[in-house]
A and B are shown apart, each in its own frame.
Chain A
Amino acid sequence: MTVIWTQGGIVENDPWISHGAEDAPKLLPLAEALEHAQDNAPFGVALQPADDVRALAPILDRVAIIALTFPAFSDGRAFSQGMLLRERLGYQGEMRAIGTVLLDQVPLMLRTGFDSFEVDHAPTIKRLVEKRLPGIDLHYQPAADQTDAGASYNWRRTAILNG
């Protein structure tokens, strides 16, 4: 079973889920998204790890959702893509992790700006639903999440997220 999870819990009837209804809008690959930027219908983009996220800059305000792909749990390119989208391009819309999304990577994804997750790994779904994330709530570096600088060192951040 594939679910969409956010920090608010499981999202029912998410329109952008893979293998959704026939008439549901689809996440477009980068090239197609750039072509359809003038369309009225809301559209989402699914980027591959080799895509340059900065290409989305001109159309960011028209994108309903950006999904970044983890082709394998060991492929961490989307962490940097996420940072660039949030920090460089100032993207504030929904940013979804798709592909191989496993429990132990979710806290890192939250820190790098992801706020929704397409998950099909049952033990991961169970822990996410129970809100038992395996992250460490103390951070030695700033990232894209909302954390405040620590008392001692400027570069060191303490957390408010469970991430």
Chain B
Amino acid sequence: MYRYDEFDHAFVAARVSQFTDQVERRMSGEISEDAFKPLRLMNGVYLQLHAYMLRVAVPYGTLDSRQMRKLAHIARTYDRGYGHFTTRQNIQYNWPKLSDIPAILKELAEVEMHAIQTSGNCIRNVTADHFAGAAADEVADPRPYAEILRQWSSVHPEFSFLPRKFKIAVIASEHDRAAIQTHDIGLQLKKDDQGRFGFAVWIGGGQGRTPLLAKKIKDFLPEADMLSYVTAIVRVYNLHGRRDNKYKARIKILVHETGVEELTREIDAEWAHIKDGELKLPQADIAAINAYFAPPELGDRAEGWGELAAWKKSDPGFAEWVGRNVAPHRHPDYAMVTISLKPIGGIPGDASADQMDAVARLAEEFGHDEIRVTHEQNLVLPHVALADLEPLYRALLADGLATANVGLITDIIACPGLDYCALANARSIPVAQEISNRFGDSARQADIGDLKIKISGCINACGHHHVGHIGILGVEKKGEELYQISLGGSADENSSIGQITGRGFGPDQITDAIETIVDTYLAHRSSADEPFIACYRRIGADPFKAALYSSEAEAA
């Protein structure tokens, strides 16, 4: 993984001093709260319902054990003993004191971490496929490009006060595990028939109150042009994006209102002026960054094949966990292991300091010291030998980290909601917990199969409800929490925006409603091999609506 050089160390240290000075000037009244707000946001500091919140960047979701231990230490020392992994592969702490934040940032800098641009109307922390560097289906590791983008976008003088936040995601396979079509810019690394690398470029994806999928504007942008082309996009957006209404300020609205062809013409015209300038990426620089991401030495461990089969046979719990949480690695003797942060009845994405320490220890022992954070709020050990799966499983079990539910109905994405968030209209966490408890039986979950539920506590859609197979949106109506359901969303290479079913459900009805939807699916699926989303796409919304609202129709 990337290691800071002197430049990076000095930069992050300078950023900490800069923010410390800004906090002092805010305390003394030299900066107004209004003017301070974007400065603290660009350093990851939010003011929430009950306290400040600090969001720490985990660039493209990659961590090593030393960094994970530091995150555990911060949770223990400055917070209440836990942290919350987010849908942007970051971690947030919900209870730090503002006066402790400069100290936390200093501690993070010791392990090459920071909170730069995890919020604010700037280019946010760049995300990537959480299986990068390990997946069998990628053309190359996308993270070096994400790292180049991270560096280039850090305290960018032209793009620090954009109309609105700006999110970039990078993948390197046809199967999209990073939801690039919901990003302001999505980049898919590709290799052409002459072995050259380049990107398919999407722009204008976003969720919030106007969910729109990104549009592809380039099939193959040579890798050397990545920074100049992204600069052209962001410059056109900075000059022309709407600033009169924050809900219409994302680039998705500019794409929508200008038209993708016209906007692409403007971007290409801007790009023509800068493509052969200073931002052209020399091959040597790309190679130098790539070298940091050299895969670990993965020696042959063929003994794992036989052992794995035997272990699975003797322990159904282990077999179930392997079935759900373990995915094939590029190296046939290895696997990618997802550590679910969705215990039955738990808070999605939360991890205690002890659990973080445990993951750090296991990454060292079994995982070549690499950890990933997924946008689905789980953790991944991307390089585990098949021969180590059983001892890893035993250790995870002991720390409450062996929940075998990846991709199942209880692997729920949920925003923090009204329990923490100043923007929320309704609670998300208790809804997630109740659904998790209702469907927690492992046989029942397995029978239902792949099903993604995503819950947001307000229209800003941090819980990605628009792209959930089942999306739940909490709203407030006449002082009461009400939950709207949408169906048919998806955030992969076949992205779609879910459709609202009809009137919403109260907090005490929403889990029953989800159960009705699940029962309807089970009754209509062509076989157990037809997953929920495929069934929904085949039969449409009507059977689900009929089931959800039939008693009402009868009553009327």
Contact = CB atoms under 8 A, between A and B. Distances in A.
Contact of B157 (A81, A88, A112, A156): A112
Interface in A56-108: 73-77, 79-83, 87-88, 102-105, 107-108
A147 B121 CA distance: 26
Interface in A128-143: 134-143
Interface residues of A, number: 40
A137 B94 CA distance: 32
Given A152-B285, A155-B278, 15 more contacts: A77-B238, A77-B243, A79-B161, A79-B238, A81-B239, A88-B273, A102-B35, A141-B151, A141-B157, A142-B278, A149-B278, A154-B280, A154-B285, A155-B151, A155-B152
Contacts of B279: 141-142, 155
17 contacts: A74-B121, A77-B243, A81-B239, A108-B160, A112-B158, A136-B15, A138-B10, A140-B153, A140-B154, A140-B156, A141-B153, A141-B279, A142-B277, A142-B278, A154-B278, A155-B278, A158-B7
Contact of B159 (A76, A142, A149, A156): A76
Contacts, number: 115
B227 interface: yes
User: Which among B35, B121, B157, B279 has the greatest number of chain A C-beta atoms within 10 A?
Assistant: B157
Contacts of A139: 155, 157
Nearest to A76: B161
A138 B158 contact: no
Interface of B: 5, 7, 10-11, 14-15, 18, 21-22, 25, 30-31, 35, 38-39, 121, 148, 151-162, 227, 235, 238-239, 243, 273-274, 277-282, 285, 288-289
Contacts of A88: 273
Contact of B7 (A75, A77, A150): A150
A152 B7 contact: yes
User: Which among B5, B156, B235 has the greatest number of chain A C-beta atoms within 10 A?
Assistant: B156
A8 interface: no
Interface of A: 73-77, 79-83, 87-88, 102-105, 107-109, 111-112, 123, 134-143, 149-150, 152-156, 158
A150 B6 CA distance: 11
Contacts of B159: 76, 79
A109 B31 CA distance: 18
A156 B21 contact: no
B121 A136 contact: no
Contacts of B154: 140
A140 B30 CA distance: 29
A154 B238 contact: no
Given A80-B239, A83-B235, A134-B22, A74 B161 contact: yes
B39 A104 contact: yes
A154 B281 contact: yes
B5 A134 contact: no
A88 to B, nearest CB: 6
Contacts of A79: 157-161, 238
Contacts of B160: 76, 79, 108
Contacts of B238: 76-77, 79-80
A30 to B, nearest CB: 15
Contacts of B11: 136, 138, 140
Nearest to B161: A76
10 closest cross-chain pairs (CB), A and B: A76-B161, A111-B157, A123-B30, A108-B157, A142-B278, A136-B14, A140-B151, A79-B158, A138-B11, A80-B238
Nearest to A100: B35
Contacts of A141: 151-153, 156-157, 227, 279
Nearest to A150: B7
A99 B161 CA distance: 15
Contacts of B235: 80, 83
Contact of B18 (A74, A82, A134): A134
A138 B154 CA distance: 10
Contacts of B10: 138
Contact of A123 (B5, B25, B121, B151): B25
Contacts of A77: 238-239, 243
Contacts of A111: 157
Contacts of B162: 76
Contacts of B22: 104, 134
Contacts of A109: 157
Given A104-B39, A134-B18, A141-B152, A75 B281 contact: no
